[in-house]
Amino acid sequence: MRLRNVVGASKIIEDSKYIILDYKEHKRKYSKVFKNKNPIHIEIGMGKGDFIIESAKRFPHINFIGIEKFDSVLVRAIQKLEDEQLDNLKIIKMDATNIDEVFACEIDLIYLNFSDPWPKARHEDRRLTSELFLEKYELLFKEEKTIIMKTDNRHLFEYSLKSFTDYGYAIKHLSLDMYKEVPSTNIPTEYENKFKDKGPIYLVHVNKNKKARNC
């Protein structure tokens, strides 16, 4: 469920020091955006920002980029950042369908937290773990490819496991009920905090070592 529109949301977002407006112009040059060569982790579908903001605070030697297309939730994240000074965090307002136009050979890890499950078969290509998206991600990574996914949707989780393994990823860690053995390193999303007591949260960590194409 999306939030109601916030008056002036677009202006609030555009004026934020965390927003990258000309994001396509920085392709292959995001280390210059951060002015360092630290690893870059991205969260596709950052929502209201709880996960990526806390990640940036907790891991100052990692650069984080949050991606979100909806003003109604993104503006909430921007508002949370008003009093923060996080040099290792940037945000891009965009549709993930175009992600291969934004990054190339520079990402170390992708987070997929509670992505839209798109349950109808005709919408399969919209799932962020479909072959269509995995092909796009292939172009983003430096060398080792790492994806960490959390979801409360059993169908999406099962679909994603097959999609990952069919595409050559190895499963490094898997949990069918994360909160029975929640890792101390876990950073919850706002959605996760709201729904973690209403059913299992599924977690999978996958990676692949083959060097990305065109790098």
**List 15, 87, 116, 177, catalytic entry:** 116
pLDDT at 213: 62
pLDDT at 134: 97
SS3 (DSSP) at 111:
strand
Strand partners, 141: 107
Question: pLDDT tens-digit profile of 158-193?
Answer: 999 999 999 999 999 999 999 998 778 899 999 999
3 within some domain: no
C-alpha to C-alpha distance for 150 and 188, rounded to whole angstroms: 10
Query: Strands 170-175 and 145-151: what pairing?
Result: unpaired
Buried b (16+ CB within 10 A) or exposed e, 60-70: eebbbbbbbee
Enumerate residues 6+ apart whose C-beta is below 8 A from 47: 68, 73, 77, 113, 114, 189, 190, 191
End-to-end CA distance of the chain: 39
User: Do 133 and 127 meet the contact criterion of CB atoms below 8 Å apart?
Assistant: yes
1 within some domain: no
116 is catalytic: yes
Tell me which residue range forms the domain holding 15: 9-208
How far CA 80 is from CA of 18, 32, 33, 66, 76, in Å, comes to: 11, 25, 22, 14, 6
How far CA 69 is from CA of 13, 62, 92, 98, in Å, comes to: 11, 23, 8, 11
- What CATH number should be reported for the domain holding residue 21? 3.40.50.150
pLDDT at 1: 40
C-alpha to C-alpha distance for 133 and 137, rounded to whole angstroms: 6
pLDDT at 107: 97
Low-confidence ranges of the chain (pLDDT < 50): 1-3
215 within some domain: no
214 within some domain: no
Residue 193 burial (10 A CB sphere; 0-12, 13-18, 19+): exposed
106 within some domain: yes
How far CA 165 is from CA of 9, 131, 158, 160, in Å, comes to: 40, 11, 11, 8
DSSP code of residue 105: S
60 within some domain: yes
CA angle 61, 63, 109 (to 5 degrees): 105
- Structurally, the chain folds into a number of domains equal to 1
68 within some domain: yes
4 within some domain: no
